[in-house]
């Protein structure tokens, strides 16, 4: 899902640090630009001198928070930010707590297992255990995903409080990525109710042709659903006829991760 970017100008407070303000402006702008932006584009959009953008981006690259495409020269955020933003429970990151259950599920299914969390109006992939098949689904950590056209996104949406879900629905556009994408808010509400009832969600090639996934909630006793854990792979290996079987396996893995959280909380 493409995110719209809005630049908001605020009056400088007495205690503000201009260089820090500019750094945060650059990071926030890049966070909503999946394809990245060049130095000139950042300078133009943010009305910051090129030399200032250059200094800031060079520092962020040196600290591995940004990468730069050798062909387009566009800057993009790296997965390094996940070290700062990944939820922590019981003194450990959610990714570390869930990884044993993810690895066990990968060994059982041979497919890639991923973990994601809610991030504003989208979800973010924070961990993955690659499948063992020659052809497998792999993404960059930090990848953002929509909340309506895939298994983990719909799962996170389904487990929101009713009022919160309605606020999110009022702010996102339901664009058809494939013929199976849900584009009706009424249908999406029904899908959310079904997900909560059965305990897992599915993606029947709704975001990308030929790719299926099944997701289940990772739960903390005090915070409720803190993440989505899912299996993803080619539709040929994860056909709709296997959704129920895989749903049970993913639910079991997510429950194992949830128990580990509770044990260490």
Query: How sure is the predictor about 94, in pLDDT bands with cuts at 50, 70 and 90?
Result: confident
More confident residue, 129 or 92: 129
Task: Report how far residue 239's alpha carbon sits from residue 255's, in angstroms, rounded to the nearest whole number.
Answer: 23
Task: Report how far residue 258's alpha carbon sits from residue 260's, in angstroms, rounded to the nearest whole number.
Answer: 5
Is the pLDDT at 102 greater than 90, yes or no? yes
Query: How sure is the predictor about 76, in pLDDT bands with cuts at 50, 70 and 90?
Result: confident
Is the pLDDT at 214 greater than 70, yes or no? yes
Q: Who contacts 70 (Cβ-Cβ below 8 Å, separation ≥6)?
A: none
**Domains of the chain: which residue ranges?**
18-77, 83-264
Share of the chain above pLDDT 70, in %: 88
Residue in the structure block whose two tokens are 């809610």: 118
Instruction: Render pLDDT for 216-248 as a digit per residue (tens, 0 to 9).
Output: 999 987 778 999 999 999 999 999 999 999 999
More confident residue, 165 or 120: 165
Task: Report how far residue 235's alpha carbon sits from residue 163's, in angstroms, rounded to the nearest whole number.
Answer: 34
Q: Who contacts 77 (Cβ-Cβ below 8 Å, separation ≥6)?
A: 27, 30, 31, 65, 66, 142
CA triple 110-195-173, angle to 5 deg = 100
Is the pLDDT at 89 greater than 80, yes or no? no
User: Are the C-beta atoms of residues 216 and 158 closer than 8 Å to each other?
Assistant: no
User: Are the C-beta atoms of residues 228 and 115 closer than 8 Å to each other?
Assistant: yes
Distances (CA, A) of 147 to 46, 164, 165, 222, 246: 28, 13, 10, 23, 21
Residues in the chain: 265
The pTM score is: 0.71
User: Are the C-beta atoms of residues 237 and 208 closer than 8 Å to each other?
Assistant: no
Calculate mean pLDDT across residues 19-36: 84
For the chain, the average pLDDT equals 88
- Which residue from 100, 155, 154 is spatially nearest to 127, judged by alpha carbons? 100
Q: Who contacts 49 (Cβ-Cβ below 8 Å, separation ≥6)?
A: 43
User: Are the C-beta atoms of residues 100 and 260 closer than 8 Å to each other?
Assistant: yes
Distances (CA, A) of 49 to 19, 45, 54, 56, 214: 12, 11, 9, 11, 47
User: Are the C-beta atoms of residues 126 and 86 closer than 8 Å to each other?
Assistant: yes
Superfamily of domain 83-264: GAF domain (3.30.450.40)
Task: Report how far residue 241's alpha carbon sits from residue 115's, in angstroms, rounded to the nearest whole number.
Answer: 23
Is the pLDDT at 67 greater than 60, yes or no? yes
Fold classification of 18-77 is Arc Repressor Mutant, subunit A (1.10.10)
Query: How sure is the predictor about 128, in pLDDT bands with cuts at 50, 70 and 90?
Result: very high
Task: Report how far residue 173's alpha carbon sits from residue 92's, in angstroms, rounded to the nearest whole number.
Answer: 35
Is the pLDDT at 8 greater than 60, yes or no? no
Calculate mean pLDDT across residues 186-207: 97
Residue 49 C-beta-side C-alpha neighbours within 13 Å: 5
Calculate mean pLDDT across residues 140-160: 94
Task: Report how far residue 41's alpha carbon sits from residue 72's, in angstroms, rounded to the nearest whole number.
Answer: 12
Task: Report how far residue 5's alpha carbon sits from residue 265's, in angstroms, rounded to the nearest whole number.
Answer: 37
Task: Report how far residue 76's alpha carbon sits from residue 31's, in angstroms, rounded to the nearest whole number.
Answer: 8
């Amino acid at each position: 899902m493409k995110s719209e970017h809005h630049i908001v100008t605020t009056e400088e407070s007495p205690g503000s640090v201009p260089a820090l303000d500019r750094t945060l402006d650059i990071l926030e702008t890049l966070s909503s630009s999946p394809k990245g932006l060049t130095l000139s584009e950042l300078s133009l959009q943010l009305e910051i001198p090129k030399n200032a953008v250059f200094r800031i981006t060079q520092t962020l690259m040196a600290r591995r928070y940004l990468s730069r495409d050798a062909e387009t020269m566009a800057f993009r955020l790296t997965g390094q930010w996940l070290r700062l933003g990944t939820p922590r429970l019981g003194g450990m990151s959610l990714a570390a707590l869930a990884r044993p259950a993810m690895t066990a599920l990968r060994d059982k299914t041979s497919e890639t297992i991923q973990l994601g969390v809610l991030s504003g109006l989208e979800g973010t992939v924070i961990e993955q255990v690659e499948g063992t098949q020659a052809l497998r689904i792999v993404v960059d950590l930090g990848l953002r995903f929509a909340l309506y056209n895939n298994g983990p996104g719909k799962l996170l949406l389904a487990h929101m409080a009713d009022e919160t879900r309605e606020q999110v629905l009022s702010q996102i556009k339901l664009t058809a990525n494939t013929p199976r994408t849900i584009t009706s808010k009424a249908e999406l509400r029904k899908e959310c109710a079904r997900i909560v009832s059965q305990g897992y969600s599915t993606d029947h090639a709704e975001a990308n042709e030929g790719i299926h996934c099944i997701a289940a909630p990772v739960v903390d006793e005090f915070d409720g659903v803190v993440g989505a854990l899912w299996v993803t792979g080619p539709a040929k290996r994860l056909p709709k006829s296997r959704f129920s079987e895989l749903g049970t396996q993913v639910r079991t893995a997510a429950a194992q991760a949830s128990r580990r959280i509770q044990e260490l909380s």
